[in-house]
Amino acid sequence: MSERNGSPRRGDHAYYPVFLDLAGRPAVVVGGGEAAAGRVERLRQAGARVTVIAPSLVPALAELAAGGEIDWRGREFAAGDLEGARIVVAERLDRATAAAVYAEAERRGVFCCVEDDLDHLSFLQPSVVRRGALTVAISTAGAAPALAVRLRQELEQRLGAAHARFLELAAAVRRPLAERTPDPAERRRRWYRLVDSDVLDLLAAGEEAAAAGRFVEILGVAPRWKEPPSGAGPGATKLERR
C-alpha cells in the first residue's frame, strides 16, 4: 500500500461507513458562508453543540448566533480551537489554513473534513436522504460527488413519508414485540414478513388503520391508538408510543 506522510494514500483503501451520535457533543465549523450554513444545519439536526469560527457570517448563521443557538468566534481559525471537539468540518480553505485545521485535528484525534480537499480530511461527507428516522448516506469516495447527488435525487423520489411513518410505528412496537416474542430469530422472521408485505403501500395511501392491521397480523402487537385531535380530517388517526 502506498504511503503519504506515514498514512495510507487516499484511494488505496475503502472508507468505513458509520453514523456518529453527536447529541450534546461539541462540533466545530470553520467558515461562515452558505456551505458552512448547510453543515451547521446538519450538525444541529444531529443534536451537536456547534461552534462556528469565521470573521463574518451569512444571515442564516448570524441569526442562529444572535439567538444563542450556536457559538460564534468572529475571527480566523487559531491553534486551540479544536480543544474538546469531536468533529470539525470546514468550507473550502486556503492551503495553509486547511493544513492547520487538519494538523490540529490529527493531533487531538478529531474527525476532520475540509470541503473539496482530499489531502485534509479523515472522513467524507456523504449525500444524504432523510425521511424521519430513515437516513440513507451515499458516497463515491470523493471520485464523483455529482453521481452521489443524482443517486440522492433518485432516492428522494422513491422514499417518502410512508417510510418515516413506518419507522414511527416500528419504534412503537419494538419493545412489546421483544417481550411477546423473546426468540430473536422469530422476531427477525416477522420483521421481514412485515417489510415485504403491503404495509408501506397502505401507509402511502393514508390507510393507517389497515397498516396497523398488518402489524397485528404479522407481529402480533400494535401501537396503542388514541383519538385524533379535533379538526383532523376523516379517518385521521394518531398513534401513541408505549
Question: 56: which residues sit within 8 A by CB, 6+ positions away?
Answer: 32, 74
Phi/psi for 69 (5° steps) reads -85, -20
Residue 11, pLDDT score? 55
68 C-beta neighbours (distance < 10 Å), count: 8
Tell me the three state secondary structure of residue 89. strand
Would you give the distance in Å from CA 212 to the centre of its chain?
27
Residue 229, pLDDT score? 38
- Which alpha helices (DSSP H) does 46-160 contain, by range? 59-66, 95-108, 145-158
Q: Measure Cα distances from 75 to 56, 93, 105, 143, 173 in Å.
A: 8, 14, 19, 33, 49
Q: How far is residue 105's CA from residue 82's CA, in Å, rounded to a whole number?
A: 7
Residue 6, pLDDT score? 44
Instruction: At 3, list the grid cell.
Output: 504511503
Q: Are the CB atoms for 30 and 90 separated by under 8 Å?
A: yes
Q: Are the CB atoms for 203 and 211 separated by under 8 Å?
A: yes
Q: Are the CB atoms for 40 and 27 separated by under 8 Å?
A: no
Q: Model confidence over 27-67: pLDDT tens digits?
A: 999 999 999 999 999 999 999 999 999 999 999 999 999 99
Residue 222, pLDDT score? 81
Q: How far is residue 155's CA from residue 138's CA, in Å, rounded to a whole number?
A: 10
What is the CATH topology of the domain spanning 3-148?
A: Rossmann fold (3.40.50)
Q: Let me know how long the chain is.
A: 242
Residue ranges in the chain modelled with pLDDT below 50: 1-9, 226-242
Q: How far is residue 74's CA from residue 65's CA, in Å, rounded to a whole number?
A: 11
Instruction: At 58, list the grid cell.
Output: 451569512
Tell me the three state secondary structure of residue 124. coil
Residue 189, pLDDT score? 97
Residue 4, pLDDT score? 41
Residue ranges per domain, the chain? Answer: 3-148, 161-240
For the chain, state the CA radius of gyration: 22
Residue 242, pLDDT score? 33
Residue 179, pLDDT score? 93
54 C-beta neighbours (distance < 10 Å), count: 21
Q: How far is residue 220's CA from residue 209's CA, in Å, rounded to a whole number?
A: 15
- Which alpha helices (DSSP H) does 5-58 contain, by range? 34-45
Q: How far is residue 160's CA from residue 133's CA, in Å, rounded to a whole number?
A: 12
pTM of this structure:
0.76
